[in-house]
Amino acid sequence: MSETTRALRSDAERTVRTILEAAERVLSKNPAASMEQIAEAAGVARTTVHRRFASREALVDAMSAWATRQFAEAIDAARADTAPPLVALYQATANVLRVKSDWGFAMSRAPSDDPEVIRVHADVEARCERLFRRAHEAGVLRGDVDPAWARRVYYALIHDAIQERDADPDALAARLVDTLLRGVGTGQGLT
């Protein structure tokens, strides 16, 4: 591949990313925004957006696929299968909160029928299941807690935590994991 071809491909990839990021910002504020509004926010011509994405639906699908890849990379970066379970849980939480915060519109879309998106979500789900099983075996979770139940509670906490738009992801992750592992009650009155 020639340097010119590489430069053109790199420029095209930057343009697509710029459009996707602008679309996320615009559609988060106004889900009915037009392709023209997205193009303006991206600083490109409307024809450039239409050349890259045949329709608004194709753009939203591309956003969903991009966000899904970012989601998978967030789990990869946490080393969920190899890091100590508590470390991986904190890191995965902070990473996922960043992605869900940055790509809230795209992540909130109905699940895609794109086979790659489906595969990535299934892989992330399996890795999370393994992480919770490892956490249970390592004593991070109480012995009497079902790891599948803990995982569902964790997902609910993440879903709720992303509502705090301006929160620092690391601080929010620490609070979320602390809530998961310690709860919010004092334990008094349970005897």
pLDDT at 3: 61
pTM listed for this prediction: 0.82
Q: CB within 8 A of 154, min separation 6: which ones?
A: 132, 176, 180
Query: Is 1.10.150 the CATH number for 1-53?
Result: no
Structure tokens at 67: 């966000």
Q: What is the pLDDT of residues 46-91, one digit of tens each?
A: 999 999 999 999 999 899 888 988 989 999 999 999 999 999 999 9
Listed as ranges, residues in the chain with pLDDT below 50 are none
> What is the SS3 assignment for 25?
helix
Domain range summary for the chain, segments of one domain joined by +:
1-53, 60-182
CATH, domain 60-182, list 3.50.50.60, 1.10.3720.10, 1.10.357.10, 1.10.40.30: 1.10.357.10
